[in-house]
Amino acid sequence: MTLSEETKQNCRAMLLEMRRDLLSEAKANRQSNSGRDYLGDLCDWAVSEMEAEYVYMIGERLRQKLFLIEEALDAIENGDYGICAECGEPIDEKRLLLMPSTLLCVRCQSELERQARMRGQLAA
């Protein structure tokens, strides 16, 4: 089952909007953490360090999401969009419309998550 050109263009539009929103969020995240100087006692320093770690974690998640969006946009351009990167089978159109940046079919994504849970890398 191949994706219709309309579905690909709808997904492309959603991906471009998601990318724009992520880049805006990343810019706001970076600005909220810039210009902070350490002033105060040990407790102030600890709180500042916790905030910096939180901002870093948010930034990492944003980078991961942006990577998936870029991969999906590249796949649309290359004609590989909608094909599972793991098994090579078509990804269900409804899944792509719901999660346009997905690179895996439901079966492969479930298996990946199951393996991560077994290694303790993902909460059950």
Q: What pLDDT score does 3 carry?
A: 85
**Is pLDDT above 70 for 48?**
yes
**Is pLDDT above 60 for 38?**
no
Q: What pLDDT score does 34 carry?
A: 57
**Is pLDDT above 70 for 105?**
yes
Cβ partners under 8 Å of residue 55, min gap 6: 29, 32, 33
Q: What pLDDT score does 40 carry?
A: 66
The CATH number of domain 5-118 is 1.20.120.910:
yes
Delimit the domains of the chain by residue range: 5-118
The angle, 0 to 180 degrees and rounded to 10, between the axes of the packed helices 5-33 and 42-78 is 160
